[in-house]
Chains A and B, each alone.
Chain A
Amino acid sequence: MSQRARLGVIAAAVVVAVVGFVIASSSGDNTKESGLVHIVVRHAKPVGGVREITVKKGHRARFTVTSDVADEIHIHGYDLHKDVIKGGTVSFDFVAKMDGGFVVELESRSKQIASLKVLP
């Protein structure tokens, strides 16, 4: 294969790759903002297992936690904390500016109660 033909093959491949990337990335996921999620903590454990809260970056993440134990609710990465009293309820409402997976937990017990998923 001549040098020229080689360059031609490479150029064609690059074009295919770039076009493919543009088409693929524009067809991205169509995720909706999650509604208000309510997490209930009983015996220091989330009822129904670790809840997943999914929002798109730039949208509001909203959820409440009702707990039968007093603790501090902590969202990792965002570093948001709120104290909850025994039998009390706290709510979080903030704009998810950072994408990624974040753990929500009962701070002093290191018990994960939810997973916040912010999609780019």
Chain B
Amino acid sequence: MALATAAAAVWPDVASAHGLVGRADLPIPSWLFGWGASIVLIVSFVALATLWPQPRLEQAVERPWFRIPAWVDPICGLIGVALFGVVVYSGLEGTSEAMNNFASNFIFVEFWVGLVILSVLFGDVFRAFNPWLAVGRALRWAAARAGLSSPVRRDYPAWLGRWPAVATIIGFAWLELVYTQKTPQTLAWLCIGYAVVQLLAMAAFGIERWVDNGDGFTVYFNLFSRLSPLIRRDGVLHLRPPLAGVPSMPMVPGSIGLLCAAIGSTTFDGFSNGPVWASLNPDLQSLFKDLGSSTNVAIELAGAVGLLGCVAAVGLFYRLGVRGMQTVGEGYPSTELARRFAHTLVPIAFAYALAHYFSLLIYNGQAVASLVSDPLGDGSNIFGTASAHIDYGVISGKGIWYVQVAALVVGHVSGLILAHDRALSLYKRVRDATRSQYWMLVVMVGFTSLGLWLLSAVRQ
């Protein structure tokens, strides 16, 4: 517990920016960097030579497995609402030391990182437990019972697309990685505020229509659930090949922005711990101080610039690859190509998230054992587990390195496979499909090398 007490206050000082850290990752050493980069190149050329000549994932078949009983939804919703309640209550009433408060740990570890992994393994888990969705549905049910008719709904504006989700994800990343005053109390109020906005928007646009389009977290976790072999359709759980859900990702305004936000925010997490940012950051901060902001505001503005810069750099790099691809074959316009290949970034986004947050989940995820017994950090011991400690020895530093490099390489291969499959279905001639893939290969190798570099350039 004493360990936890201290780290809470040192957030801005601790080497690793995800806070809540007792044991920080070591930068991957040069030999592993070199080996990882070589593997990426070897794998890429092998993939070009050996991948299938007919599209396979584009029309993959989903096989029904079993019907989910009707009582599961209300139960999951109830659990989601209960967890939301515990988080908000602990945040408001508990200690302001983040590491001793259930709210901070749950939001930054189990929710933000854990749900990404659960989504990839089991499908769209968050949608099942989404507390505001559950409340919205309960209200609708109650209104119907009371004989109230639901008001006429507005259409969700097409131009809005995924932009609310882009704003949510960048905002959350800024809160986690940059904001200096993220006490459990602030987090609790933000949770309440977010839920209220969601409920109002559901009232305006219709519950499911809003949640699936405008609720940033539902949209974000749904992105990763597309990698999963499990999908729910009309109450029936279906099985499908892994990756097969990605090609059908709807492309609306902001879809590419969302992928860039997901990759860019994780990029900033690594970048902000590296040497380049360490030399840029003081200049940016003094610039904002000269413009009249206080120290904290200057830190937050500089961080915002860095974060948005990373998101923009990711987007720019993708567009460059697409411009290259445009020179090949049947002359598709670059906006069309950008939309057609954007889904290939989904596994890259997952690889980045896993590589950067794996140790946070493995170490700080354990804190949930003590925090459920003492959610407020006031010394209570509800389930008798309050004295449980984080075992930092569960995985060695080398083990973490291998997970990180494996995540990036597997993400890279998955991206290549998706791009290859899409190219085969898009181009009439196999030759054009292959040539277009040289450009996607550059994009993929670029992202994977950037990922490796971010992990190797961590400042201690």
Contact = CB atoms under 8 A, between A and B. Distances in A.
Interface in B192-245: none
Interface in B348-392: 389, 392
A3 B208 CA distance: 47
B50 A102 contact: no
A52 B459 CA distance: 11
Interface stretch (B2-10, B115-123, B279-287): B2-10
B72 interface: no
B397 interface: yes
A1 B430 CA distance: 13
Contacts of A105: 6, 10, 13
Interface stretch (B22-30, B165-173, B329-337, B434-442): B22-30
Nearest to B10: A110
Nearest to A22: B35
B31 interface: yes
Interface stretch (A6-14, A61-69, A87-95): A6-14
A24 B34 contact: yes
- SS class of chain B's interface: helix, strand, loop or mixed? helix
A115 B24 CA distance: 10
Interface in A5-45: 6, 9-10, 13, 16-17, 20-21, 24-25, 27-29
B69 interface: no
Contacts of B393: 97-98
Contact of B31 (A27, A99, A102, A120): A27
Contacts, number: 110
Given A13-B43, A112-B14, A102 B22 contact: yes
Given A100-B23, A103-B10, A120-B398, A16 B42 contact: yes
B133 to A, nearest CB: 39
Contacts of B22: 76-77, 79, 102
Interface residues of A, number: 38
A119 B3 contact: no
B113 to A, nearest CB: 18
B14 A6 contact: no
B32 interface: yes
A102 B224 CA distance: 32
Contacts of B26: 99-101, 117, 119-120
A81 interface: yes
Interface of A: 1, 6, 9-10, 13, 16-17, 20-21, 24-25, 27-29, 52, 57, 74, 76-77, 79, 81, 97-103, 105, 107, 110-112, 115, 117-120
Interface of B: 2-3, 5-10, 13-16, 21-26, 29, 31-32, 34-35, 38-39, 42-43, 46, 49-50, 389, 392-393, 396-398, 460
